[in-house]
Structure 1
Amino acid sequence: MCKRTMATSPAKSRIRSSHGEPRPPLNEELIVDEILTRLPVAAAVRCRSVCRAWNAALASGHFVAAHAARAAAAAARHPEIVFFPPTERGVATTFYACSLPVDGGAAPTTARQLLTVGNLAGEHLVLSGKPCRGLTLVFDVRLSEYHLFNLSTGEHVSLPPCETAEEIAPLVPEPMRLRRFPVELSSTGLGFDPATGQHKVVRLFRNIFGQQKCEVCSLTASGEWRWRRCAGGDAPPRFACHVDGMPPVALDGSLYWLLHWRSCADDGSARDRQQHDAPILSLSVSAERFGWVRTPPKLASRIRHLTNLDGSLCAVVHVECLIDDVLLLLTWSPSSPSWSARCRVDMGSLPLPIRDELRGREVVPLCSVSGGQKIVLATSRHKVYVYDTESGDIDDVFDMNSYVDIPPRNSEARLFVNIGFHEEQIAGVGRTLAGDNGLEVKRGGDTVVAKRDVSPEVYQRHRQKDEDFRSIKGLIRASTIV
């Protein structure tokens, strides 16, 4: 119990049983460790207002670690995804969480509402991927603004304005350009510094004067966020030319960028992308020092993106074959610095509807289930599949269209994907996310949305818009010079 409760009279502080005998007083450590650690994050944070003793206990590192351990164990049994519809400008964006079936369980019938942000357009947002110690970095591409959220508690902060990055100018006719496509040479990630116990936002970019820069946004002594020059200096020359707006991957105290060889060599000669391995640039969050990770030989040019898969760096490789496409998942970790094959998906062996959904899309591995046998795959078509690495079976387990309305022109995500892995953690409490930033954020509370049936006509309208977008997107990628 808290001190305020213990200050009352002994007779009133005891709860009598049905037999009239007083119950023994509950141990405060038992309440905190065995009861409050089982609460959802939002409920646990609200309990801090009960009294000073609970506020101190629930803000302690011991409680945060204990709650995170229980949440991680629950996520292993019942993994959750976070998703947001690609709403257009002027429409509020809502973030939802939804549990996924494991071991052939029933598909989810409801999704719970986490947050609604009234002045962010979902079609312009890019998430930082897997949450970093409970926090998610959200990048508004249209406004070049960054926001930090704890999607479970509603705590949030907007980062200070950053220097303008150089725009990407694709060589396609003006009427065919997609204004919502990533348009600047920048990439920003969120990491955690265990030495200081604070999060850091790191931005690698090239400014409008052609200067390559690396800036870090971290807390100052006064508790305010501020951009500063990276302590390790700027990245190696010209490498900011090869970032494409996608966030780096946070893993074991470092950030990892996939650098795309899409420009010319320093001497002006064209590079042969089939013969040059595109290295992966790394940055230690604590020391702010750059390093390198070599990519698998002869596959560098086919790596679409990187992600964090079960604590390992995962390279998603698309191999185009004469018969059908192949999706390869290769993993790497600092403790085992050689790449290994995690999974191979032969598109030709999949059912025709699923094959059409996966071919040519962005496919992001979120996590594995069933002891690593099955891998959860999110796609830019707002769907989630579970692939069995042993049997080769694949199941459609989630479709965003079944929960929220998606504009036909956004039937495929304009930026990356609108689905990520959700982790409930108590983070950002107190100084980390202190301050008012003007965002109109409303917590979802106990609001849920039920799954609904979607008519085939809706998918047909989306498919036509989707094919138009894919053709233009291909032209942009083929003709972009940076």
Structure 2
Amino acid sequence: MDPKRRCPVLPDEITADEILARLPAKSVVACRSLSRAWAAALSSDDFIDLYHSLHGGRLKILRLHEEAKSYTDRHGAAPPDGMPLAISAASFPRMVKVFWEDWQTIPILLTTQCRGLIIVELNPMGLLYVCNPSTGQKRELPQGRTTGCGRNRDWMHEYASLGLGYDVRSRRHKVVRIYHKGYDGEGRPASAGCEVYVLNDTAQSWRPVRAKPPGWVHPYKITVFAQGHVYWLAHRKHHFYEGYTRPSEMFIACFSVSEETFATVPPPPGVDSETLSKQCLTVLAGRLSLFSWGCPDHGQRYDVWLLRDYGTNTGWDLHCRIDVATASLEVYRFLGPRYDVRHVDSYPPIIPLAIVDDGRCILLARSELPDKICAYAPLTGDIENILDFRSLQTLDRTPLEFAVYEESISTLGRQTCKDIILTSSPSTQALSLLLHLIPEHTLPSLMCVCRSWCTTIALYLRGRASR
């Protein structure tokens, strides 16, 4: 080639927009460390939006697993192609097992993915992390307002629920936290509030929101972000019987991430408050989806509803209906009930993961002890096995849960200061100094004294484990 025809310098817009924006997320993050100019350009909001426009919607599968050892540790080789990304207790700091040695640490997914980010809770400690599965980055969330209450049986209503959304105005991720304190004589929340934590914000703390949630949000179901709102399955009352509670007057609650206001969404036609207990919310094709299940007559049926839009044209479209009674034998084996679903009010036995192949197929997985992922084609009624963990022989145990995510280069902000002595109260400073003199085996019992002691001792143990 003639040297005169070569381009002496590649234009910056070609380098960033056409080359770097098409690299995997881990490669882009690595390129940020090459120079200050590249770090500023590849971390700008414009480049992050460009990257999302190119990679958003190209969903990948991850699995939450209780097995701490990786495939490489056990087999000495890389995992086979197509094996989903794993998130296990080994992905997080070793500190979380110091004071719960008798308990098995497992990750629990709290939210669907929001522009590549998810929120995971580590049980039984209750530590909350925002994670970017694409880059492996994680950030521990600070503790929010307490939900403690003094009356008997209020422990049933001392909880908080988290949601993750994206504000298109500020171009920031927001973590939404709804908390409840007790109940009144009629089964309604005695006190409920909401607060917001903004990622990459200088405050790095929870900010209270004036808007109040319209009722109890369900603490054991995944929250969803779609079409600019965070959604929960909720109920207005609790009925008490034999020491337990039963929800009533269920509805769909939503929170506008930009306006920071609450509202409700009417359910699809034919779905009332009674049957909402047998539904799950998720995101399919970028829209809020209600996955309903039930037992019409003598069979079992699944309906996939998609929210048309939020606002003046709010409505639902029935994407597909799967009648197990009239389906093929392969569909029945995968979707058929393992138990009598008429007596179950919790999570559906099957959950949808994504709509793929230009809307022609739905990825489905079991919600309890999932061992495979199948693609169901509504037009033909065929089902195809996409991934079967029983045949891979790569895991010692069945995954806890499957989820989807997309490539993201969103940063999680700087970590909070670990030196709590500089910014804490005198009593906390004194406790921090005394921790060096107290035997380590007594620290777990001291963590039960109060919330501030728990945080202080947990940070101290984390610092010792990292040395």
Q: CA deviation at 1:126?
A: 2.7
Residue range with higher mean Cα deviation, 52-61 or 384-393:
52-61
Instruction: Please tell me whether the aligned partners of residues 360 and 379 of structure 2 are also in contact (alpha carbons under 8 angstroms).
Output: yes
Residue type at the aligned position of 2:310: P
Kept in 2, the 8 Å contact 1:200–1:216? The answer is no
Could you say what secondary structure the match of 2:205 adopts?
A: strand
Q: 1:112 to 1:271 in 2, by over 3 A?
A: closer
Match of 2:406 in 1: 423
Equivalent position to 2:355, from 368, 389, 392: 368
Percent identical pairs in the alignment equals: 25
For residues 396-475 of structure 1, the aligned pairs below 5 Å read 396-401=385-390, 402=392, 404-407=394-397, 413=400, 418-428=401-411, 432-435=413-416
Within a 5 Å distance, the mapping from 1:18-417 to structure 2 comes to: 24-72=8-56, 75=58, 79-87=59-67, 91=68, 109-111=82-84, 116-119=91-94, 124-165=106-147, 185-207=159-181, 211-219=190-198, 223-232=202-211, 234-236=212-214, 239-240=215-216, 242-260=217-235, 263-264=238-239, 278-300=250-272, 301-303=274-276, 304-332=279-307, 333-334=309-310, 336-348=313-325, 349-350=327-328, 351=330, 352-356=332-336, 361-380=348-367, 381-382=369-370, 383-401=372-390, 402=392, 404-407=394-397, 413=400
Q: 1:238-272 CA distances to partner (integer Å, 9 max, x unpaired)? A: x12x523323211122111112477239xxxx999
Deviation at 1:124, TM superposition (A): 4.0
Q: Secondary structure at the match of 1:286?
A: coil
- How many angstroms does 1:156 deviate by? 1.9
Whether the 8 Å CA contact 2:352–2:363 is kept in 1: the answer is yes
TM-score (normalizing by structure 2): 0.69
What is the CA distance between 1:21 and its match in structure 2? Answer: 8.4
CA distance in 1, matches of 2:416, 2:255: 29
User: Which residue identity lines up with residue 213 of structure 1 in the other structure?
Assistant: A
Equivalent AA in structure 2 for residue 195 of structure 1:
R
Question: Structure 1 220/123 Cα, relative in aligned 2: closer, same or farther at 3 Å?
Answer: closer
Tell me the secondary structure at the aligned position of residue 136 of structure 2: coil
1:82–1:189 Cα change, 3 Å? same
2:131 maps to a residue whose letter is F
Per-residue deviation, residues 45-79 of structure 1 (Å, max 9, x unmatched)? 11111122222221222321222222136x2xxx4
Stretches of structure 2 that go unaligned for 5 or more consecutive residues are: 72-79, 98-103, 184-188, 342-347, 420-467
**Is the 1:258–1:306 Cα contact (8 Å) retained in structure 2?**
yes
TM-score if structure 1 supplies the norm length? 0.67
Structure 1 stretch displaced more, 394-403 or 55-64: 394-403
Q: Separation in 2 of the partners of 1:151 and 1:330?
A: 28
Question: How big is the shift at 1:320?
Answer: 0.8
- Measured in 2, the distance between the counterparts of 1:49 and 1:208 equals 49
- After superposition, give the CA deviation of every residue in 1:28-57 in whole Å (9 maximum; x if it has no partner): 221111111111001011111112222222
Q: Structure 1: which 5+ residue stretches go unaligned?
A: 1-16, 95-106, 172-181, 439-482
Q: Report the Cα distance in structure 2 between the residues aligned to 1:28 and 1:271, rounded to whole angstroms.
A: 60
1:327/1:344 contact within 8 Å kept: yes
Taking a change above 3 Å as real, the CA distance of residues 132 and 436 of structure 1, as seen in their structure-2 partners, is: farther
Greater relative contact order (CA < 8 Å, ≥ 6 in sequence): 1
Give the residue type in structure 2 aligned to 1:293.
V
**Residues 255, 155 of structure 1: CA spacing in aligned structure 2 closer, same or farther, 3 A cutoff?**
same
Q: Offset at 1:403?
A: 6.1
CA RMSD of aligned residues (A): 3.6
Check the 8 A contact 2:65/2:106 in 1, yes or no: no
For the residues of structure 2 that align with 1:334 and 1:159, how far apart are their CA atoms?
30
Higher deviation after alignment, 347-356 or 153-162: 347-356
SS of residue matched to 1:46: helix
Residue 111 to residue 421, structure 1, CA distance change in 2 (3 Å): closer
Equivalent pairs counted in the alignment come to: 370
Distance 2:81 2:360 in 1: 21
Output the amino acid matched with 2:133.
L
Query: What is the CA–CA distance in structure 2 between the aligned matches of 1:191 and 1:159, rounded to whole Å?
Result: 15
Q: CA deviation at 1:294?
A: 1.2
**CA–CA separation in structure 2 for the residues paired with 1:69 and 1:25:** 27
Q: Which digits, 9 at most, give the CA deviation of each residue in 1:82-123, with x for residues without a partner?
A: 112134xxx4689xxxxxxxxxxxx96544567832546886
